[in-house]
Amino acid sequence: MYDITVVGAGPIGSHLARKFAEQGHEVLLLEKGKVGKPLKGTGHVSKDIFDHVPEKDKFVEKEIHGAVVHNNGSSFSFGRDRHTSYVLDRVEFDRYMAKRARKVGADFRRERFIDMKTKKGKVTVKTDSEEYETKLLAGCDGPLSDVRVAAELSKPELFLHGIFTNQIEVGPIQQNHVEVFLDTSEGFFGWKVPRKESFEYGLAVELGKDSRTYLEDFAKKEGFNISQVYSGMIPMLPPEKVTKNRVFLCGDAAGQTKPFSGGGLIYGLTAAEIAAETVDPEKPTTLEQYEEGWREELMGEIKTGNRIRKLYGLPSFLRYPFLWLGKHRSKHAHMDRPKSLLGYKK
Ligand SMILES: Cc1cc2nc3c(=O)[nH]c(=O)nc-3n(C[C@H](O)[C@H](O)[C@H](O)COP(=O)(O)OP(=O)(O)OC[C@H]3O[C@@H](n4cnc5c(N)ncnc54)[C@H](O)[C@@H]3O)c2cc1C
């Protein structure tokens, strides 16, 4: 019997699997597809990423110095004088994370999780080819989480649809700031992110809206070509509970993302670490400590981030004073901690 079965070898599942395996637990890591494929996101993260994983050139594509936010003809610069963040090669990053988990003994299997049953102090996990017994089951299987469905846990409150394309440039990219376009989407924003040899252009819209048409309008305005398109769901606002019996969710499956940017890597990695610190496979009641711990760490920031997200839906003239204020308060602000804009210290 495994101590813990982790479904999904995305970055959060791999991190969680590694953390438990490092503690000497028997870990099964299930992945239905090819690690890192299809491309799942931009990979724009704060410097804090290296509080969670070792610094490696192989997956860092670009160092970023701040952002420029465009609002109906006006532009606001944030943090351009400092090195604030990185753009990662997400395929390389996801592969690296999965390799690290395997290296410390997580039993990686290319199988699709299908269903589970909790009975007599264990969970029986059914995949497309085997059945396993495990003391705990962790759903790190992304926004549409099959584990969440099987465990009858609620889904996050809101889902956006993100879509992006890469425009290859001749020669290395000099621009080292990201751009945010508040008028390209309703209720969210568009972005232009410099990579090593290309610019990524993308946007997110509420589910049900035609993201492709928004991207085409954006392409006309900014003069880029749409070649290959990548897309994915961005879950936001975690449900009231992400734990039940011997099951818990982590990462996108739990909606642990930043509502004002859609970024999920740092919050998901943080939650995975809290799970590894608090949860004991021999004592499933410790799942309550995980539930309390990650909420204490992240929910305040998620709520503040959601208030910021709501400002994107305002008419541009009403956004203007908030942008002005944000710019003037942003000197010591941290991109993962929107409460820092309000003067809160960690
Ligand atoms: C357009 C877009 C842009 C983004 N940009 C950023 C950004 O700049 N910065 C940032 O921090 N975040 C960004 N994100 C969010 C980020 O991609 C996610 O938060 C992150 O991928 C979450 O990792 P995860 O491991 O929880 O889930 P995922 O990366 O989705 O991994 C889940 C894994 O589970 C596997 N799986 C699913 N179902 C099963 C099953 N039944 N059985 C077995 N395996 C299964 C999947 O194949 C996948 O490998 C963006 C997202 C999108 C859509």
DSSP 44-90: EEETTHHHHS---GGGEEEEE--EEEEETTEEEEESTTS--EEEE-H
Residue 346, pLDDT > 70, answer no
Portion of the chain with pLDDT greater than 90, in percent = 83
Query: Whose CA is closest to atom 27 on ligand 1?
Result: 142
Atom of ligand 1 nearest to the CA of 161: 53
Distance 299 CA to ligand 1 centre (A): 20
Query: Whose CA is closest to atom 10 on ligand 1?
Result: 263
Residue 23, pLDDT > 80, answer yes
Q: What is the pLDDT of residues 81-139, one digit of tens each?
A: 777 899 999 999 999 999 999 999 999 999 999 999 999 899 999 999 999 999 999 99
**Whole-angstrom Cα Rg for the chain:** 20
Helical packing angle, 265-278 and 11-22, nearest 10° = 20
CA distances from 307 to 1, 210, 292 (A): 45, 24, 22
Query: Whose CA is closest to atom 21 on ligand 1?
Result: 40
Question: Phi and psi (nearest 5°) for 38?
Answer: -70, 160
Q: Is the CB of 127 under 6 A from ligand 1?
A: no
Q: Between residues 343 and 229, which one has the greater pLDDT?
A: 229
Distance 254 CA to ligand 1 centre (A): 11
Contacts of 345 (CB under 8 A, 6+ apart): none
Query: Whose CA is closest to atom 16 on ligand 1?
Result: 264
Single-letter code of the amino acid located at 69: V
The boundaries of the domain holding residue 76 are 2-342
Q: Is 295 helix (H, G, I), strand (E, B) or coil?
A: helix
- Mean pLDDT, rounded, for 71-78: 91
The pair of structure tokens assigned to 210 is 């035609």
* Lowest-pLDDT choice from 76-80, 110-114, 115-119, 328-332: 328-332
Residue 171, pLDDT > 80, answer no
Residue 209, pLDDT > 70, answer yes
Nearest to 292 by CA among 232, 240, 227: 240
Q: What is the pLDDT of residues 267-291, one digit of tens each?
A: 999 999 999 999 999 999 999 999 9
* Lowest-pLDDT choice from 32-36, 74-78, 331-335: 331-335
- Mean pLDDT, rounded, for 45-58: 91
Q: What local confidence, expressed as pLDDT, does residue 82 receive?
A: 76
Distance 145 CA to ligand 1 centre (A): 10
Given pLDDT bands bounded at 50, 70 and 90, which one contains residue 329?
confident
Q: What local confidence, expressed as pLDDT, does residue 334 receive?
A: 87
Residue 345, pLDDT > 70, answer no
Q: Is the CB of 202 under 6 A from ligand 1?
A: yes
**Ligand 1 binding pocket mutation candidate from 7, 14, 40 (most atoms within 8 A of CB):** 40
CA distance from start to end of the chain: 40
Element (H, E) at 100: helix 90-103
Q: Using alpha carbons only, what angle is made at residue 138 by residues 132 and 140, rounded to the nearest 5 degrees?
A: 115
Residue 331, pLDDT > 90, answer no
Q: What local confidence, expressed as pLDDT, does residue 58 receive?
A: 85
- Mean pLDDT, rounded, for 243-266: 97
Q: Is the CB of 38 under 6 A from ligand 1?
A: no
Question: Phi and psi (nearest 5°) for 126?
Answer: -110, 130
Distance, in Å, from the CA atom of 106 to the CA atom of 272, rounded to the nearest integer, reads 15
- CATH number of the domain where residue 218 is located: 3.50.50.60
Question: 205 and 185 in contact (C-beta within 8 Å)?
Answer: yes
Distance 235 CA to ligand 1 centre (A): 10
Contacts of 234 (CB under 8 A, 6+ apart): 143, 159, 160, 161, 162, 204, 252, 257, 262, 264
Distance 13 CA to ligand 1 centre (A): 10
Q: What local confidence, expressed as pLDDT, does residue 332 receive?
A: 74
Structural domain total, the chain: 1
Distance 113 CA to ligand 1 centre (A): 16
Nearest to 63 by CA among 47, 41, 81: 47
Q: What local confidence, expressed as pLDDT, does residue 308 receive?
A: 93
Element (H, E) at 190: strand 190-194
